[in-house]
Amino acid sequence: MKSNIFFLFLFILLISCQDQKQEINSIETYNIIPQPVEIKVQNGSFQLDKDTKIVVPNTEDFKTSAQYISTIFSNVNADNIQAESTENNAIIIELKDFEEEEKYTLSVNSDRILIQAKNATGAFYAAQTLRQLANENSIPAVEITDYPRFAYRGMHLDVSRHFYDVAAVKRFIDQLAYHKINRFHWHLTDDQGWRVEIKKYPKLTEISAFRKETLIGHFSDDPQQFDGKKYGGFYTQEEIKEVVAYAAANFITVVPEIEMPGHSVAVLAAYPELACTEGPFEAGTKWGVFDDVFCPKEETFEFLENVLTEVMDLFPGEYIHIGGDECPKTKWKESAFCQKLIKEKELEDEHGLQSYFIQRMEKFVNSKGRKIIGWDEILEGGLAPNAAVMSWRGEEGGIEAAKQRHDVVMTPTTYCYFDYYQSPAKTEPLAIGGLLPLKKVYSYDPVPAELNAEEKKHIIGVQANLWTEYIPTEEKLNYMMFPRACALAEIAWSPNENKDYPDF
Ligand code: TNX
């Protein structure tokens, strides 16, 4: 009898030990970039298997979220998506009317995963967090509350200096989504190549999309050397639509950039009548800034308006980027037409002409219900009334624009230029110059201290730029992008006061 009691006791002990076999988690268990606003450690884990259900409210939006979750976990069966609630072995998506648009909460215990969000955007970000948390089929128990610091979390890609095809661009978009970056600034035109099909102007893709050769090595090499190979490419309108839809499915808005009045010599190669001088012109074969730019003639405005009309049909986002950077005034100074126009319009000088140019384009874009965004040179000679500014030459342009109550995206070279070296140049593959280590990116706070509370609201976000003069392949693109894009994601999303570099 005694021994029976002993075995019973042992049995109970074993069972209770089994129960406590659940994992003990600590804050180190959760490796999520960008770091969520709040993480509460919980012990145990949820195990996904082929019977795991996804329970979802009966709305199209959330059904898409459920579908998405079923694709990220190969074990979860899309046939298991259902509307009836169950508390066991389920991923439950619930509608919750949060104040913040992109907010989600994620609660994981051994029975179920509960996602609460206001809309599919929040659910999508919860899914990204889940992806990062999962270790194969096991997800550690946790309570997360999360929402972004900035509405505009951007990554830029220059496809003019080097071209990236649709498949590569989609892979780039995948990386953005994984890091909760929600704007893809697509730099589609520059001196070295035009990359978007415009039906009205076929020569843009026949001529402007190609350059006769490309500089090898660094711009500053003496003598400069060229590869002697024709280079180029472009996206058809169908391909653009495909990318825009792909980005949208990843909750990313594409901001297309059509450069003007500078960085436009590739266009002049096909349409020399848009220049101030006769030409001929050719698409750039080396890097830098070119003196031949659009001439502010009626013909030029008509051309650009027609181009932007097609561009706006392709890109549904609020912002159209019209460049505005680095426009030398050399040709405008020498042009009798420009000098006459300056007098006629009572402009101060060529900078006034740049402002006139931008303001005209802004009026046109506004007339189609969209807004312009441009590099900080659009401040020259007076900012167009509704324009947003991308501050790249330091933060001054952004500060000035915010003081004038314009929306601003911070992207200063000092913290956001991912074409710069990541460590001392002699240890790195060829890059344009500069030095921007990971830690420096991470240290950036996009909201300048000298702005008052009202002005600070105009800093809508932050972006990093990938200029591709020295980035000819996708492999090198990824090398330059990471891990710095992880730091960008965190400064764009996570609260400033939670920042912790060693932890990151
Ligand atoms: C400046 S940033 C440029 C680009 C170059 C980049 C190289 C900006 C608005 N213009 O044309 O590619 O520097 O770092």
Q: What would the pLDDT profile of 262-312 be if each residue is shown by its tens digit?
A: 999 999 999 999 999 999 999 999 999 999 999 999 999 999 999 999 999
**Structural tokens at position 260:** 């003007």
**To which H or E segment does residue 67 belong?**
helix 60-72
Rounded average pLDDT over 150-165: 98
Phi, psi (rounded to 5 degrees) for 398 = -65, -40
Asked if residue 400 has its Cβ within 6 Å of ligand 1, the reply is no
What single DSSP character describes residue 472? -
Q: What are phi and psi of 427, to 5 degrees?
A: -100, 5
What is the structure's pLDDT at 446?
98
pLDDT band at 429 (very low <50, low <70, confident <90, very high): very high
3-state secondary structure of 427: helix
For residue 106, pLDDT beyond 90: yes
**If you take atom 5 of ligand 1, which residue's CA is the nearest one?**
467
pLDDT classification of 486: cutoffs 50, 70, 90: very high
Q: Strands, E, within 227-318: which ranges? A: 231-232, 253-260
Instruction: Scan for tokens 């009026």, then name that residue.
Output: 363
Instruction: Give CA–CA dist 293/440, Å, rounded.
Output: 35
Number of continuous H segments (helices) and E segments (strands) in the chain: 17, 21
* Whole-structure pTM value: 0.95
pLDDT at 83: 80
Ligand 1 neighbourhood includes 420 CB (under 6 angstroms): no
CA–CA distance, 425 with 299 (Å, rounded to integer) = 46
Distance (Å) from CA 416 to ligand 1 centroid: 12
Q: Is 350 near ligand 1, meaning CB less than 6 Å away? A: no
My answer on whether omega of the bond before 280 falls inside 30° of 0, hence cis, is yes
Q: Looking at residue 22, what is its pLDDT?
A: 74
Give the whole-angstrom CA distance, residue 375 versus residue 191.
Answer: 16
What is the pLDDT confidence band of residue 87, given thresholds at 50, 70 and 90? confident
Expressed in angstroms and rounded, the spacing between residue 252 Cα and the centre of ligand 1 is 23
What does the buried/exposed string (b/e) look like for 329-368 if buried means 16 or more CB atoms within 10 Å of the residue's CB? bebbeebeebeebbeeeebeebbbbbbbbbbbbbebbeee
- For residue 381, the model assigns a pLDDT of 82
Give me the pLDDT at residue 61, please. 86
Phi then psi dihedrals of residue 324, to 5 deg: 95, -10
| Backbone conformation region of residue 432, classed left if phi is above 0, alpha if psi is from -120 to 50, else beta | alpha
Q: Whose CA is nearest to atom 4 of ligand 1?
A: 467
Pocket test residue of 326, 409, 420 for ligand 1, highest count of atoms within 8 A of CB: 326
Cα 263 from Cα 470, distance rounded (Å) = 17
Amino acid at 360: R
What tokens were used for 352? 């006034």
Distance CA 178, CA 131 (A): 8
pLDDT of residue 445: 98
| Phi and psi, residue 299, nearest 5° | -60, -40
Tokens of 359: 């303001």
Cis link prior to 34 (omega < 30° from 0)?
yes
Ligand 1 binding pocket includes 325 (Cβ within 6 Å): yes
Cα separation of 246 and 251, whole Å?
A: 9
Question: What is residue 113's three-state secondary structure?
Answer: strand
Band of residue 105 on the pLDDT scale cut at 50, 70, 90: very high
pLDDT above 70: residue 334 = yes
In the reported structure, the alpha carbon of residue 131 is separated from the centroid of ligand 1 by a whole-number distance in angstroms of 35
For ligand 1, mutation pick of 325, 409, 430 (most atoms within 8 Å of CB)? 325
Q: Which atom of ligand 1 is nearest to the CA of 433?
A: 14
First-to-last alpha carbon distance for the chain, in angstroms, is 60
Over residues 454-483, mean pLDDT: 98
Residues with a known catalytic role: 190, 263, 326
Ligand 1 in reach of 191 Cβ (< 6 A): no
Q: Whose CA is nearest to atom 7 of ligand 1?
A: 467
Contact 165, 57 (CB under 8 A): no
The reply to whether ligand 1 has any atom less than 6 angstroms from the CB of 289 is no
| pLDDT value of residue 10 | 59
User: Residue 326 is encoded by which pair of tokens?
Assistant: 């680095």
Q: Is the CB of 421 under 6 A from ligand 1?
A: no
At residue 19, does pLDDT exceed 60? no
Instruction: Look at ligand 1, atom 9, and give the residue with the nearest C-alpha.
Output: 325
Q: Give the Å distance between the CA of 12 and the centre of ligand 1.
A: 70
Ligand 1, atom 2, residue with closest C-alpha: 392
Q: How many A from CA of 74 to the centre of ligand 1? A: 42
- CA dist 261 and 291 (Å) reads 11
From 187, 290, 467, 468, give the residue whose CB has the most ligand 1 atoms within 8 Å, as the site to mutate. Answer: 467
Count the alpha carbons within 13 Å of 243 in the hemisphere toward its beta carbon: 26
Residue 13 confidence class, pLDDT cut points 50, 70, 90: low
Find out whether 393 and 342 touch, Cβ atoms under 8 Å: no
Which H helix or E strand runs over 262?
A: none
**Helix, strand, coil shares of the chain as percentages rounded to 5?**
40, 20, 40
Which segment of 6-15, 18-27, 242-251, 288-297 scores lowest on mean pLDDT? 6-15
Is residue 332 lining ligand 1, measured as CB closer than 6 Å? no
**Cβ of residue 392 lying under 6 Å from some atom of ligand 1:** yes
Query: What local confidence, expressed as pLDDT, does residue 14 receive?
Result: 54
pLDDT of residue 78: 76
Residue-level pLDDT at 73: 86
Cα 283 to Cα 278: distance, rounded to the nearest angstrom: 15
Give dist(CA 223, CA 282) in Å, integer: 21
Ligand 1 atom at minimum distance from 465 CA: 2
Ligand 1 atom at minimal distance to the Cα of residue 392: 2
- Amino acid occupying residue 59: T
Distance 467 CA to ligand 1 centre (A): 7
182 to 74, 177, 251, 492: CA distances (angstroms): 25, 7, 6, 10
- For residues 426 and 13, the model is more confident at 426
